[in-house]
Every structure is written in structure tokens, then in C-alpha cells.
Amino acid sequence: MKLIELSGAPKDRGLQHGAMLRDEIHALYAAFLDMIGADEPPFVALSEAEVLAYAAQHLPFIDAAAPDLLAEMHGIAEASGIAFEQILAMNCVAEIRRLRWPDVRARINAGPDTANGGCTCAVVQGDATGGDVLLTQTYDIEPIWTPILFRNAATETTPAALFVGHAGILCQFGMNAAGISVVASALRVDDQRPGVPAPIIARLILNETRLSSAVEAIVLNHRTVGIHYAVGSPYGVVDVESSAGSHAIRYAHEPIHTFSNHMKSTDLKPRETPLPSAHTYVRDGRMFQLLSKSQRPVTADTITAILADHANYPVGICNHVEPGVSTAESRAAVVMNAASGVMLCSDGPPCSNAFRRFTLD
């Protein structure tokens, strides 16, 4: 996996990002438009004009919540020679992907998940690990999305951070030098709206040095879509299950906690769009099953082996594309120990790609 080092003021980081990934940004945007513009039932095609117009609705929310990250996005656009409006749209990928459902023109709605993969996440801590707090996930998305690892140097106000993103896209999940880490999986909800896009929320989490402040970066911002987060620290984890306008928070006491792409909170269940595919329940349950029966202490290497599991193929923990069944694959998988500053990351499906060790320094 390509590792990009960024440092300096927000605009400077963006300029470095855009200059180093110029070709990749242009190629990804073109592939993004091809994917969004394809008329592939049950999905509907979206034009570039529709995509840009919808993304523009998010701009005032980003400006209010994260002007520094907005400056970074401007730097990416300037150095890569692509329009800012296009970079903005790429950073609304989680939101725009959901707009392909047929009822989009009637109302913004995620729609049922009938032929898609989804991230599988887990927290392993306490008695299960001998004291370590380990966060892990697969990153399941269409093959056009090539994950890139970014390492941000510390600033006067933010800690150093190591996180997975894409060319032109700020962040998906990761960890920082203050011991904060985050994993996330998409939820299908009925209250999607313009707001602060998911990559901005992820970076805001990793800008924080306290667990409580990292959680507030989720719950106090005007979110756009449904996402289930686990936010970790060296001493514990907070679970945040969210729709765009609602959330459920709890401190995760259990040694093993898993989730995928369905609502677990009974309070939030009414926000879930109907008929989430059954494979989300299988992946969640299978991850818990394998972790529960693993020899103690569970280590990062134990987890990397589990992430390659093919039960319920092709839509298992390790996900693969298969026409009519799955449009996504596990483009990466990570295991993070933020307290020690170590991330193990696979560049592609964990069944066939070795995990490499990366550190915050």
C-alpha cells in the first residue's frame, strides 16, 4: 500500500497530497463518474451535474465544522489540477453512492442492500487480549477505490495520525499518536441529508486527544449518513451507532464486540431502511464466533488470520466481487493498537495479501 507523508499547515498538506497523487486523483474521479453514471439495475445512473450539485449542498456544513480540512481540500484541488467541486464530490463518496437507488429523485434514501458487501468491524480488549485494546476492520467497497495510507505529522493543535484514505479523499479510518483510533461500517438509514461528509468526520475524530472529545466529533456534528463507529483509546472503547440525525452511545465493556452493516440499537432500529441483506448478520456473527473461540491472549496476528475467513463466500468477512451477489471486495483490512502506535494493514483482500506493519513514527 502506498504511504504518503503529509506535514505543515492545512493548505500545505493538501498541496502535498495533490502533487504526489495527481495522476491517481484524475483516474479515480473518472472511474467514480463511470460507476455513478452506469445504469445497472437496481441502481440508477447519476450525471456529473447531479453529483456536483448534491455535493455542493455539503459545503457550508464542512466550512462550519472543519475550515482547516476545507483548506486541505482546496490544496488538493489546486496541486492536482482538478476542480475543487470535483474534490468535494469525491469526499462525499459515502453519501453519493447511496443516491444510486431508484427513489433518489423522490427523496434521499439509502435503499435496501441487495448486492453489496460491507465492512466488518471488531473490538478486542481486556481479558481477551491481556490488556491491549485492538480495533480491526475489513474495508469493503467497489474495486475502483484503491486505499492509500496517509501519515500526518503533528501540528500545534493536532496529534500525528496514520489513516486509510484514497487519492483526493481525506480519511476513512485510522489512529493517532494520542492513542485514539476509529473503525467504522456503513448503515442504511432513512434520514440521509446534506451535512458533514463521513471522511471529514473521520479526520475530526483523529484530530482529538481525548476519548470523550473524539466521540463528540461524531455526535455534535451535522452528520449525513448512517455509520456504526467504534472509537478506541488505550484504556477503553466507546461504541457510537448513528443515523444522520440520531445516535446511540455506550461504553463497550465486553472483551469482544463486533458489528457490520445492520442496526443493533433498538432505539435506532426504526431508522434502518428495510431488508438489510442477511450477510451482514452472518459476517458479524462469524467474526464474534471466531474471536470467541480463539486462544487467549488474542493478538494482532490472531486477528489477521480471522480477517481472511471465507465462510459465506463471496460475502464473508473477507469479501469478494461476484456478479449478482457482491459488487464489493475487501480492498484493505487493518488491525490497530493505537497505544503502541502500530497498524497492520493489507493492500487488498486479506486472504491473498500479506499484512504490513506501519507505525505512527
CA-CA distance, 273 to 263, in Å (whole number)? 10
CA-CA distance, 242 to 42, in Å (whole number)? 26
Cα–Cα distance list, 124 to 134, 234, 303, 316, 323 (Å): 5, 12, 9, 19, 34
Beta strands in the chain (DSSP E): 3-6, 121-124, 134-141, 148-152, 161-166, 169-176, 181-187, 226-232, 237-242, 247-252, 256-259, 329-337, 342-347, 355-359
Domain extents for the chain? 3-105, 121-359
Res 108: pLDDT: 46
Rg for the chain, CA atoms, rounded: 19
Task: Return the percentage of the chain with pLDDT > 70, whole number.
Answer: 94
Residue 20 Ramachandran class (φ > 0 left, ψ -120 to 50 alpha, else beta): alpha
What would the pLDDT profile of 9-35 be if each residue is shown by its tens digit? 999 999 999 999 999 999 999 999 999
Res 104: pLDDT: 40
Q: Which CATH superfamily is domain 121-359 in?
A: Penicillin V Acylase; Chain A (3.60.60.10)
What would the pLDDT profile of 196-243 be if each residue is shown by its tens digit? 999 999 999 999 999 999 999 999 999 999 999 999 999 999 999 999
- Burial (CB count within 10 angstroms: exposed 0-12, middle 13-18, buried 19+), residue 275: exposed
What would the pLDDT profile of 307-356 be if each residue is shown by its tens digit? 999 999 999 999 999 998 998 999 999 999 999 999 999 999 999 999 99
The overall average pLDDT reported for the chain is: 93
Q: Which amino acid is at 242?
A: S
What would the pLDDT profile of 4-16 be if each residue is shown by its tens digit? 999 999 999 999 9
Of 109-123, 186-200, 208-222, the range with the lowest mean pLDDT is: 109-123
